[in-house]
Amino acid sequence: MIPAVRNAVKAILAPVGAGIALSMLCASCFTGVESTPRIDDSALKKAKAVAPSPEEIFLNSVVPPSASQWLPGKKLLVSDPKIRLVFTTGESGEMPSLRPGEEITFRGFESARSLLGEDVADAVFSSETYPLLKYRLPFSHESLARNESPAPEIPFTVDPVLATKADSLIRSRKERLYILTPLWYDAATEASVGGYRLVGVEIDSVRPGTHIFPIKVYFHVSDPVLAATLQGKGEKMVFMSHGGNGRANSRSFASLFSFHEPRKRYPQITDDVWELIINSKVREGMTKEECRLALGSPANIDMTPTRVGDVEKWSYSDGLYLIFNPDGTLMRYRL
């Protein structure tokens, strides 16, 4: 471009550019405060709603130890005879015969080579019957050395230390606990029995469980009237997972127990309806809140529009269903 023409163009556009720059600067000045996220009551309520409850964090320290915390002499309990499928006994390759409740003792980690020549690790144990038991870990010996591997999980075993820690924490609380689930087991036979929900219980002991749910909590019903019934009589037990799971697991502490008496949270519920709730029963006319307390949350909810409003159907995984009137009261059900 000819220099004279270029200079003329610059002279014409300069005020325009300055105006644009000034408008951009002013816009940033005026919107600075407005663009700052505003924390209103709903945001605070939402943040509060996702905060973990005291029950959810209560057993957070009761978790399987990392590999660096595994020291020679550590004991595990066999929980299932299928353990023979995952252990080798050395050169012979014999499948060990171990009984539930039998102890195996950790000896250490050994470096090994996989069939593909990769660096792997074996967890080495012994028992009264077998001086050498090996389980091939799903990570390398090098990651063990760098403490980068997850907590070792030995199938069909349970770590009794988890139950010991949970027992110490639970029994250190002097306040009564309230059980939320009616899925109880008889303490003597471990047969499944139907129990009450939302009632006070006294903890008797906490013991090692299974490889699926490593903790058993033994208890008895606090209320003498309920304790005299067939459902509440004698010592009962529930299976529980280890800590750190919050409510993600249906057998976490927070899913099984409450620190606070549930009855006091619902003063609007009549005594006769509360009697149905603790027995996991419903009747026509109960509200959605009352039905949820009695049976838990449904697996699925369907809405059917009608001339007078939406009819809501709650379906449960075991075939149970509830149908609610448009006003929210229970119309029909199948248990």
pLDDT digits (tens, 9 = 90+) for 15-64: 444 443 434 433 443 333 333 344 455 555 555 557 899 999 999 999 99
d(CA 295, CA 194): 13
Q: Report the mean per-residue pLDDT for the chain.
A: 86
Question: What's the pLDDT tens digit per position in 276-322?
Answer: 999 999 999 999 999 999 999 999 999 999 898 999 999 998 899 99
d(CA 189, CA 317): 27
Confirm if 249 and 243 have CB atoms less than 8 A apart: no
Q: Which residues of the chain have pLDDT under 50?
A: 1-39, 246-247
Helices (H) and strands (E) in the chain, counts: 9, 16
* Number of C-beta neighbours around residue 5 at 10 A: 9
Cβ-proximal residues to 25 (8 Å cutoff; 6+ apart), any chain: none
Backbone angles phi, psi at 313, to 5 degrees: -120, 125
Question: What's the predicted TM-score (pTM) here?
Answer: 0.80
Query: Encoding tokens for residue 56?
Result: 């959810």
Confidence at residue 49, expressed as pLDDT on a 0 to 100 scale: 56
Per DSSP, helices labelled H in the chain are: 3-31, 41-50, 54-57, 141-145, 160-172, 224-227, 253-256, 271-278, 288-295
Confirm if 312 and 300 have CB atoms less than 8 A apart: no
Cβ-proximal residues to 43 (8 Å cutoff; 6+ apart), any chain: none
Instruction: Please provide the size of the chain in residues.
Output: 335
